[in-house]
Amino acid sequence: MSDSSSIDPEEIRTWQAKIQQANRNNLLCHCQVCDREWVSSRPEPCSCGSRQVESIACWQFPDG
């Protein structure tokens, strides 16, 4: 296992920017009222009007 201090700060910034981009464009939204699910580029209310929506970044889910 490598020491985290050996990671280049520019590499860390690049990695963080990629995660931020993934978060901006791929949020799995789930309405806790009507159970509807959709993918959005930002947290938003459900089409049923509920604001009780959970948003999770899609990159957190494994492919497959």
DSSP secondary structure string, 1-36?
---GGGS-HHHHHHHHHHHHHHHHH-EEEEETTT--
- At 4-56, the pLDDT tens digits run 568 889 999 998 888 777 666 788 999 999 999 999 888 899 999 999 999 98
Q: What percent of the chain has pLDDT over 90?
A: 42
**Residue 1 clears pLDDT 80, i.e. is over it:** no
Structure-token pair, residue 49: 């009007």
Residue spans of the domains in the chain: they are: 20-64
**Predicted model pTM:** 0.60
Whole-angstrom Cα Rg for the chain? 16
- At 26-36, the pLDDT tens digits run 889 999 999 99
Cα separation of the two ends of the chain: 27
